[in-house]
Amino acid sequence: MTTPGDREPVRHLFPLRWNDNDQYGHMNNTVYYEAMDTAVNAWMIREAGLEPAGEVIGLCAASRCRFLEAASFPEELEVDIAVERLGRTSLTWDLAILRRGAPDRIGPLALGSFTHVFVDRAARRPVPIPESVRAAVSARLTVATGS
């Protein structure tokens, strides 16, 4: 188990798009989930060897978000990536949506959680988290609680 602050923050840049703003003139709530889904998949593909066309894929089993501050196009956001729980077949991400360049998680726009269950592509039954993902998570991300 590690504690927050042991690692360099891991961030994913998420520039807003024109059509992310809904008729209330701010980023729609669903876009925060796009940001979370995008950030963790990009990180797994780039840093942890996930192959979206491969035999083991990660499906979303649950997610949640608290929306604290509004944002609006053309702002650029960042997703701060940490891990809430690294299990045997599932991984729960602990995510914060921040304005670009925010030094830490103080004053986040939103706080979210996103659980991936790893499954084999054909049968879609749970399988152990790929070793490359487990190793990269353990080495580079802040993990709140071990398995």
Amino acid at 111: L
Tell me the longest C-alpha to C-alpha distance in the chain.
44
In the window 82-101, what residues touch a copy of itself (CB under 8 A)? none
Region from 3-11, 66-74, 85-93, 138-146 binding a copy of itself, contact rule CB under 8 A: 66-74
Q: How many residues bind a copy of itself (CB under 8 A)?
A: 39
Please select the residue that binds a copy of itself; options are 2, 41, 89, 132, rule is CB under 8 A.
41
> Rule CB under 8 A: is residue 22 a binding residue for a copy of itself?
yes
Report the candidate in 5, 82, 85, 87 with the shortest Cα–Cα distance to residue 43. Answer: 82
Instruction: Kindly list the distances between the CA atom of residue 39 and the CA atoms of 1, 15, 93, 122, in Å, as whole numbers in the listed order.
Output: 23, 12, 10, 25
Q: What number of other Cβ atoms are within 10 A of residue 49's Cβ? A: 14
* Omega before residue 130 within 30° of 0, cis: no
Of 2 and 73, the one with the shorter C-beta distance to a copy of itself is 73
Using the 8-state DSSP alphabet, how is residue 128 labeled?
P
Rounded to a whole number of angstroms, the minimum distance from the CB of residue 115 to a copy of itself is 9
- List residues near a copy of itself by CB under 8 A: 13-15, 17-19, 21-25, 28-31, 33-34, 37-38, 41-42, 45-46, 52-53, 57, 59-67, 70, 73-74, 124
